[in-house]
Amino acid sequence: MQVNTAKNLDMDNCLLDGLNPEQREAVVTLDRTLLVLSGAGTGKTKVLTTKIAYMIENGYAFPSQILAVTFSNRAAMEMKERLSAMVTGTESVWLGTFHSICAKILRSNADLIGLSNSFTVIDTGDQQKLVGQILKELNIDKKIANSVVTAISRWKDKCMCPNDPRIDAKSIDGRVYALYQERIFSYDSVDFGDLLMYVIRIFKENSHILQKYRDKFKYILVDEYQDTNMTQYMWLRMLSPNGSGLCCVGDDDQAIYSWRGAEVGNILRFEKDFLNTKIVRLERNYRSGGHILGAASSLIAHNENRLGKTIWTDGNNGEKLLIQRAYNGFDEAKIVAEKIELLHLKSVKFGEMAILVRAGFQTREFEERLIAYGIPYKVVGNLKFYDRQEIKDLIAYMRLIYQPNDSLAFERVVNVPKRGIGAAVMAKLHARSAERNISLFQSAKEMLENNEFRPTVMESLSTFVKFIESLGKRNDLSPAVMAKIILDETGYLSILTNERTVESQTREENLKELLRALEDFEDLATFIEHVSLVTDARKNSGDDVVSLMTLHSAKGLEFDAVFLAGWEEGVFPHNMSLQEGNLEEERRLAYVGLTRAKKYAFITYAMNRKVYNQWQANLPSRFLSELSPEHVVHQKSKAEKYYN
């Protein structure tokens, strides 16, 4: 289909009404490879949907000749809804995530690699179960299953098969990967990584199939290009080797997912990959005030590896960023809660406010302050602190030690970590408990005395019962020390450490935060009562609640007021990121956080934090000094004035 350049420039097209000049240019450019650098809040979704509608409405392509790729089902659904409201007949547009598009292609060509077209796509849970089975067969501890699954996923992000020379075939991960791939294939199943890898293999081994799809798709549009991994990049390059009809939209300043395989280099080298590239920069922000944008721009300008753009607004400057130093973590949470109350009195809805933290463990102090102040909240992208699995496990241990007849606590932890006490054993314990009207713990003791289990169960259950009873007699132990003993003696913490995954690291940080919180309680009874009060706090109803989340979870969202907490060296930027040389990604994460705010942005940091019963002085985050002074105001807290 020949592109009509004159028609591209028809600014009278009603679809172009309401677009600014840069957005229009991005929409009507069809004769060159196009990279749209879309800053935060500059209307990239509007550009993408309008571009597709423009091509259909003006006859540049049939809907079925357009491929539009997104990163999430939510983004795909939003684009479909907007598109159908703009033009008719859009149902045949190939619009979906990388995985859904590749699944569609693979089902049509599965026989070429020995799969049926009804193959099953397994999820992460199935992956972990299968890897666990293989580890057991190899006489390797199943506790490392999560880390092996992560390693396999990262290899697939780089399009690395088990026989790839870059993989150590003799390592545990390498051995399991080879067996895993054989096993999953024999089950006529694939995982999400396979969906792309198998399509790439089909394209490589069957040039006529690849050419068929190259001919089919006249235009290819990709959203969030900065988040593509190497396998996704290879797939796109195969479909559009010279960039003909290719339009990628992204923001290198919002590339924050390297930890899950994303390669920011894909967008940074775009002009080298596609020589006839045109770059359109969307810099006019429709979300935030001038001071917020000025501060965010001054911060991100310190990154060396970026394509460069400066977001701006033709609206008013609004409020300057308020930076407030707190005396400690408790003081910081109190400051934020009080400011939320003040903003709410000024008619800012709770639902238009968010607290953004670098790591999940930071939410605890804020949750407790919000509850104390009666401020409704929700934790986005995660469970509330005391609802998280590892926290509930440790608290259940402590409940059982405090009250051995707590059968709910017993049932939760008797096989955590796994001790070989399965459903059959629990059924016997429940039967005895009902028959004698006694607790599960009492049932266990009675049945152990009568030698009613097989030897392996007798040994593990007896060890568990003795462990609980021994700690129950230790009235000299503080809750913090007792919790540390539980984690060490059961191996709970070491299991998480050995998993070596992002998830296990997060869970480990949560447990360490709970240990820190326990230092504030003199006895077990007081702590257990405190937890009951916190977890029984009234349920929040409706949407008018403060959002509490990590910075990673906040991407794509916006709020009237944003509170950015914990801007201290080692917290943000995070120690691990500094050790791995990912300072620029941490700065991009700060940029993402700042640009979530529409009217108000607050940054807090603490002079001291209590870590393992010791006060630790923290340096302010280096990011604070990188904010342009004309856009910020510094303020001391009441507590700091008092202690000074």
Residues annotated as catalytic are 44-45, 223-224, 254, 596
Cα–Cα dist 60/147, whole Å:
48
Cα–Cα dist 196/102, whole Å:
6
Rounded to 10 degrees, the C-alpha dihedral 53/55/58/62 comes to -100
The values of phi and psi at residue 203, to 5°, are: -60, -40
Rounded to 10 degrees, the C-alpha dihedral 100/102/104/110 comes to -140
- Using DSSP's 3-state secondary structure scheme, residue 358 falls into coil
Residue 459 token pair: 């040994």
Q: How many CB atoms lie within 10 A of CB 625?
A: 10
Cα–Cα dist 172/307, whole Å:
40
Cβ-count burial of 240 within 10 angstroms (0-12 exposed, 13-18 middle, 19+ buried)?
A: buried
* Continuous segment of H or E residues that includes residue 378: strand 377-379
Helices (H), 66-206: 73-86, 98-109, 124-137, 145-157, 172-186, 192-205
Cα–Cα dist 610/332, whole Å:
13
> What is the distance in angstroms between the CA of the first residue and the CA of the last residue of the chain?
73
Cα–Cα dist 495/493, whole Å:
5
